Amino acid sequence: MGNQVKPFGVLLRQRRLKSGYSLRKFAQLADVSPTYLSQVEQGKVERPPTAERVRKMAELLDQNPDQWIALAGRMPEDLRDIIKSEPEAMPALLRAAKGLSAEELRKFTKRMENKRDEGGKK
């Protein structure tokens, strides 16, 4: 509900400027060409960079890498494996989680963690 998904490129540019990096400087740190970085920030590329590169950028700007990867429309590699490990139950879980608020999701997350910590019996 009301989750305004700001384009990845816009967010990237905002954060980069806030950190005081020029386009060329940051491109160098992130190990991409200035041209490409410019295109990404403008949303001129079909799809944002790879998950690995997005992770690097997020780290350079002190942002949450997972969040940025998801915002870029990529999938953190481990999530794919998690889903694969329970190919029926995990998709169902995600679809059920779809409408819930972030707070509710966090609550469920906590409960799941407790479930695991309380003893890997069996």
Which 7-66 residues touch a second copy, going by CB under 8 A?
Answer: 64, 66
Closest by CA to 9, choosing from 46, 57, 35, 48, is 48
**Residue 11 in tokens:** 């967010």
| Least distance from a second copy to the Cβ atom of residue 28, Å | 27
Binding status of residue 15 toward DNA by CB under 7 A = no
Name which position in 19, 50, 67, 109 contacts DNA (CB under 7 A): 50
Nearest of 72, 70, 71 to residue 80 by alpha carbon: 70
With CB under 8 A as the contact rule, which of the stretches 18-26, 29-37, 40-48, 93-101 interacts with a second copy?
A: 93-101
Q: Is 3 in the site for a second copy (CB under 8 A)?
A: yes
Indicate whether 18 belongs to the interface with DNA (CB under 7 A): no
- Residue 44 engages DNA in binding (rule: CB under 7 A): yes
Q: Return the one option of a second copy, DNA, none that residue 75 interacts with (CB less than 5 to 8 A, by type).
A: a second copy
